[in-house]
Amino acid sequence: MDGNGRWAKSRCLSRLKGHEEGAQAARRIVEAVKERNIPYLTLYAFSSENWNRPKDEVEGLFRLLEGFIDKEIDRLKESGVCLHIIGDISKFPSVLIEKVMMSVDKTARNKEIHLSVALNYGGRDEIIRTTRKIISEGLTADSLNQKVFAGYLDTAFMPDPDLLIRTGGEWRISNFLLWQLAYTEIFFTDTLWPDFDEDALERALTWFSSRERRFGMTSEQVRGKEPV
Ligand code: FPP
């Protein structure tokens, strides 16, 4: 969800105001994705590197998340959203941890859409935490394969993403889902996150539907023809 800061700066507003608008955009996009019967959506809200931001901004983001939960959790529950958290929130303020866990519990039986919010998430950190879990459970080297490894990741409950949308004009993945993105289609857009609306989502989905996904095969194989 990149571009909140620039969106605010161009309007002479504080960065936090940009994040507030970003939270509103997130609310709208969850609805739009759900209406399209897309079963999984993951939002990158706070990376393991975002701790390096000014203290005011980090605390402001925590307050915003708390406020978002207070305001939205009942509506999310009613609309069938099952909330998941990926990342390591153990270093977050205890009030926020409690609210987050309560929200996860409250929505656990919902099935309409699995909304994952990445909090203190970093792909490298996830791989290290996963490896630690595997070692601590005493798995042998021979018993480890890709499926077993993926089953220990934060994302074990979801399939690998089909589409990654990177807003804000940056062409990088910034430590997001490093394992899971192996065959994901990546859509880069200059649109700043607070401006990312239903039309922008539709453009990304249209682009995605034009992609030929080969997963290492040839075009002929994918189209069900014999190779020439
Ligand atoms: C990146 O934009 C955005 C973030 C680090 C925070 C994202 C958080 C939210 C949208 C709010 C809460 C989320 C939810 C799910 C309610 P940036 O600040 O790096 O923008 P810039 O590159 O323009 O400075």
- The pLDDT tens digits along the chain (228 residues) read 999 999 999 999 999 999 999 999 999 999 999 999 999 999 999 999 999 999 999 999 999 999 999 999 999 999 999 999 999 999 999 999 999 999 999 999 999 999 999 999 999 999 999 999 999 999 999 999 999 999 999 999 999 999 999 999 999 999 999 999 999 999 999 999 999 999 999 999 999 999 999 999 999 999 997 665
20 within domain boundaries: yes
Nearest-angstrom CA–CA distance, 88 and 37: 29
Instruction: Give me the pLDDT at residue 80, please.
Output: 97
149 within domain boundaries: yes
Nearest-angstrom CA–CA distance, 178 and 127: 8
Given the residues 4, 37, 50, 56, select the one marked as catalytic.
Answer: 50
199 within domain boundaries: yes
Q: Tell the residue nearest (CA) to atom 1 of ligand 1.
A: 2
Ligand 1 pocket by Cβ (under 6 Å): 1-6, 19, 22-23, 26, 43, 45, 50, 61, 64-65, 68, 117, 168
b or e along 3-12 (b: 16 or more beta carbons within 10 Å of the residue's beta carbon)? bbbbbbeeee
Nearest-angstrom CA–CA distance, 35 and 63: 29
Cα of 35 to ligand 1 centre, how many Å?
24
Total structural domains within the chain: 1
Nearest-angstrom CA–CA distance, 228 and 222: 13
Alpha helices in 121-226 (DSSP H): 123-136, 146-150, 198-209, 219-222
Nearest-angstrom CA–CA distance, 155 and 147: 12
Q: Tell the residue nearest (CA) to atom 2 of ligand 1.
A: 2
CATH number at residue 26: 3.40.1180.10
Q: At what angle do helices 55-78 and 15-35 cross, to 10 degrees?
A: 20
Task: Provide the whole-model pTM.
Answer: 0.96
172 within domain boundaries: yes
Instruction: Give me the pLDDT at residue 225, please.
Output: 74
225 within domain boundaries: no
Nearest-angstrom CA–CA distance, 123 and 223: 33
Indicate if 4 belongs to the active site: no
122 within domain boundaries: yes
Cα of 193 to ligand 1 centre, how many Å?
8
100 within domain boundaries: yes
Domain containing residue 91 = 4-217
228 within domain boundaries: no
